[in-house]
Structure 1
Amino acid sequence: MDAELLEAFLPEWAVACARLAAAPGDARALANLRALAEAPGAEALAQHIGVLPPDALAAQAETMLRPPMHAPQDGPKGAGVLIIDDSPTMRRILREIIAEDGAFAVLGEAGDGEAGLAAMARLQPSLTLLDIEMPVLNGLGVLRRWALRGPGQVLVVSSSALSGGEVALEAMRLGAAGVVAKPSGALSLDMAQQRGADLLRAARIALGLPHAA
């Protein structure tokens, strides 16, 4: 091995490597390394300093300069759903119903209208399941403010908004995508399951998703 060649080569190689370590993908540092690797006599040093052959170095440079491929971030699978209801029991029931359909994923919950509006702004749900009778701000109050600047669609889930009734008609006038009855725990199991199926069907219709007839 030529000692003089090694003495002249190593400092410049070390500088280029240090630059590349500080800024991976640095085109100038990569070009410098390639030039050094292609220098006459460099092949004799390869086994001592780990210099790649010019072709291999060029291929490595292309890989390093290529824009990185980022793996998709884990996140909710399906359309994001927000539940606004003052009853913790009802929120749990609605979560369980939503979990039955892979087209949806619950993003969050809120226990009153004001907290619900804040959650809407923060989470930007595709669909909000909204109760009517709540403290602080009721469901119709939420709809009035949501109609001006709120995200997604709103499906009213309420025992007080009977189909065709005044409250239901007002909710629809304010932009609700639909009104469905709550799947109350006081109902028979069959009726509760039917109301859960009705809710999922209405949710799919609200978002324009395929649904069973």
Structure 2
Amino acid sequence: MDEELLAAFREEFAALCASLAVAEDMPVAQRLLAQLVAMAEGMEMAPLLARLRECQAEESLPALRDAIRALAEDEPTEARPIRTLIVDDSAMMRRLLRGILALDPRFSVVGEAVDGAMGLSAMAELQPDLTLLDLEMPVLDGMGFLAEWALSGHGQVVVVSSAAHPGSPAALEVLRRGAWAAVAKPSGALSPDLAERSGAEILATAREAVGAG
């Protein structure tokens, strides 16, 4: 990315954040936030866009101001990796998901966990932009993970599970609990064309979840 363009972006971004942080009413703050979102989209800064969309979910002006102040403390940088956590008890599936994400250099797998409890600990430590989550796991399953994540979690969650076919009760429930989407694992875990059949949908959904589509 051109350094002059990036410098101009940083200057304008900082100015908008400063204006939003002292906005006197919610309509003005929302208009400024919409401008920030449009800038992040135009510069294709997916992680920044994901954080801005989290700010859009704030319902009160003080909470929105605080969220923007916290975001402004992290200077926007070019093409910051999309930090991704994989939570699945299957070593083969974790390896497969790493391979799928590797097809897009914007994704960086920063951690893995074999159950929901370890996943929550890893999320608290790593603060990922995106978590790919299985449902059927020991210790704490995916539904339990989502219940805790909804209260104090970070980033977006995409469920990747054989129990979450589109339209199924499980898929509807994970959406109700706040997950961005539910993508089904294909049947036949040892099928040699597993990645080919599932990879495109999983990768497309991951991109959409963090605004990198």
TM-score range, shorter chain: 0.5 to 0.7
Please list the CA deviations of residues 10-40 of structure 1 after superposition, one character each: whole Å capped at 9, or x if unmatched. xxxxxxxxxxxxxxxxxxxxxxxxxxxxxxx
Secondary structure of the equivalent of 1:108?
Answer: strand
Secondary structure of the equivalent of 1:172?
Answer: helix
Work out the CA distance in 1 between the residues paired with 2:90 and 2:197: 21
**Corresponding residue to 2:90 among 60, 63, 87:** 87
Q: Which runs of 4+ in 1 moved over 4 A?
A: none
Structure 1 match to 2:161: 158
Work out the CA distance in 2 between the residues paired with 1:78 and 1:203: 13
Instruction: Please report how far the alpha carbon of residue 78 of structure 1 lies from its aligned counterpart in structure 2 after TM superposition.
Output: 1.6
For residues 112-123 of structure 1, what are the structure 2 equivalents within 5 Å? Answer: 112-123=115-126
- TM-score, normalised with respect to structure 2: 0.60
Structure 1 match to 2:129: 126
Check if 1:111 corresponds to 2:145: no
CA contact (8 A) 1:98 1:200 kept: yes
Please list the CA deviations of residues 92-134 of structure 1 after superposition, one character each: whole Å capped at 9, or x if unmatched. 1111111111120100100001000000000000000000000
CA contact (8 A) 2:130 2:157 kept: yes
Work out the CA distance in 2 between the residues paired with 1:194 and 1:166: 23
Secondary structure of the equivalent of 1:187?
Answer: coil
CA contact (8 A) 2:100 2:195 kept: no
Letter of the structure 2 residue corresponding to residue 133 of structure 1: E
Letter of the structure 1 residue corresponding to residue 176 of structure 2: R
Instruction: Please report how far the alpha carbon of residue 187 of structure 1 lies from its aligned counterpart in structure 2 after TM superposition.
Output: 3.4
Secondary structure of the equivalent of 1:135?
Answer: coil
Number of matched residues? 134
134-143 or 92-101, which moves further after superposition? 92-101
Please list the CA deviations of residues 175-200 of structure 1 after superposition, one character each: whole Å capped at 9, or x if unmatched. 000011225643352x6313101101
Q: RMSD over aligned Cα, in angstroms?
A: 1.6
Work out the CA distance in 2 between the residues paired with 1:181 and 1:188: 17
Work out the CA distance in 2 between the residues paired with 1:150 and 1:77: 21
Work out the CA distance in 2 between the residues paired with 1:192 and 1:80: 21
Letter of the structure 1 residue corresponding to residue 86 of structure 2: I
Work out the CA distance in 2 between the residues paired with 1:81 and 1:91: 12
CA contact (8 A) 1:132 1:156 kept: yes
Letter of the structure 2 residue corresponding to residue 155 of structure 1: V
- Is there any run of 5+ residues in structure 1 with no aligned partner, and where? 1-75
- TM-score, normalised with respect to structure 1: 0.60
- Is there any run of 5+ residues in structure 2 with no aligned partner, and where? 1-78
Work out the CA distance in 2 between the residues paired with 1:134 and 1:88: 12
Work out the CA distance in 1 between the residues paired with 2:82 and 2:164: 25
CA contact (8 A) 2:96 2:195 kept: no
